[in-house]
Structure 1
Amino acid sequence: MERRLVIKQVLIMAGGLALLPSCLREQGKSTIKLQHLDVSMEQENLLADIAETIIPRTKTPGAKELKLHLFVLKMLDDCYEEADQRLFMSGLSAFNEKTADQFSKSFRKLSVHQREGILTKLEKDPAPELSAFYKIMKDKTIDGYLNSKYVMTSLIIYELVPGRYNGYFPVKTA
């Protein structure tokens, strides 16, 4: 009878230790662990809205539902040089300030039409930090969408090379 009690207590303790890191996460920090970037929850939500504006929800899931903003952050953290990371983060801050100055409210509170207009203007913006930010954001959002589990399993039917054998395929003679 004592062994069962000890085993039960050990399992409860192990479960508690497994959950402990998620409880110790700092409030206001990003939901994923990043090595080189310091992203706040507000910035992460802004990136989610930008990604959702680039790939909106229709009959298919949008960027927010597929969590493409987290993909962008992880790719930026793992695969980009430190200079590009700094440029991206300064571009994100500049984008936030530009939106607040232009509309006197945050990007999240704008209508879809206004969001699309801002991103369209951003493609032609001469400021290097804004253009670098938007280029990385757009490229990685599209990359993440095309390589997402949803697209690869539901929209594109992947067939391993060389494909099926069709013995009745008509062949033209030379």
Structure 2
Amino acid sequence: MIDRRTALAGVVGMFGAGLFAPIARAAGAAQASRIPVISEGPPSVAVFTPAQRALVSALSERVIPTTDTPGAIAAGVPAFIEKLLADWGTPGDRKPILAGLDAVSARSQRDYKVPAERATPAQQDALLTLAMNDQLPSGKEFFEAFRQLVVTGYYTSEVGITQEREYLPVPGEYNGEFPYSQVNKVYSA
């Protein structure tokens, strides 16, 4: 079975030069195999307030929602994000995430009169779209870093590797005539 350390090492190619710093640090250390797997144990320090933690969960599920496969919450993405920011992020790395969460919360209160973590999925989508389009303070910086954290957390989790993708620890032989109609999932190995 592929582990999170191996998966993190492969994440670098997914985002290239724009990789969020804590992910790059964890991936580099994972390649060096000199440290424990990132998912072991609780975060060394609490990064989020309870309201921010709830918002991270809600927004993570909006980035990768539950469909016919489990979503970000089922994959443990919110805990992964806090662990990564606590143990691999510097205060400067945490700043865009915390500022973005605060901006999303403030905009939700202004527009919807409800805390962002309790907004409807459509309202949360609208708030993320505002961040993505840089219509919130430091929105684009927040959105890009947050999206990378969610995608990395999901696709390095057991759920992402085995349920979202088809896990083949040793892929079969090459078949140049494999019918496209028989392809069900993207493979991860």
Q: TM (normalized to structure 2)?
A: 0.61
Matches within 5 A, 1:2-21: none
SS at match of 1:105: coil
Greater length-normalized contact order (CA 8 Å, ≥ 6 residues apart): 2
In 2, distance between residues paired with 1:83 and 1:151?
29
SS at match of 2:138: helix
Counterpart residue number, 1:71: 80
Counterpart residue number, 1:153: 162
Counterpart residue number, 2:34: none
Counterpart residue number, 1:121: 130
Deviations 1:31-86 (A, max 9, x none): x8433553222211110000011111111111112221111111122223321212
Contact 2:104 2:127 (C-alpha < 8 Å) held by counterparts: no
In 1, distance between residues paired with 2:82 and 2:106?
20
In 1, distance between residues paired with 2:142 and 2:161?
27
Equivalent residue letter for 1:73: E
Query: What fraction of aligned residue pairs are identical, expressed as a percent?
Result: 21
User: Post-superposition shift, 1:114?
Assistant: 1.9
In 1, distance between residues paired with 2:101 and 2:121?
19
User: Post-superposition shift, 1:164?
Assistant: 4.5
94 and 157 in structure 1: CA distance in 2 versus 1, 3 angstrom threshold: same
User: Post-superposition shift, 1:91?
Assistant: 2.2
150 and 126 in structure 1: CA distance in 2 versus 1, 3 angstrom threshold: same
Aligned length: 135
In 1, distance between residues paired with 2:144 and 2:114?
24
Higher Cα radius of gyration: 1
Equivalent residue letter for 1:52: E
* Bigger mean CA offset, 132-141 vs 73-82: 73-82
Counterpart residue number, 1:21: none
Long gaps (5+) in structure 1: 1-31
Contact 1:53 1:115 (C-alpha < 8 Å) held by counterparts: yes
Contact 1:92 1:130 (C-alpha < 8 Å) held by counterparts: no
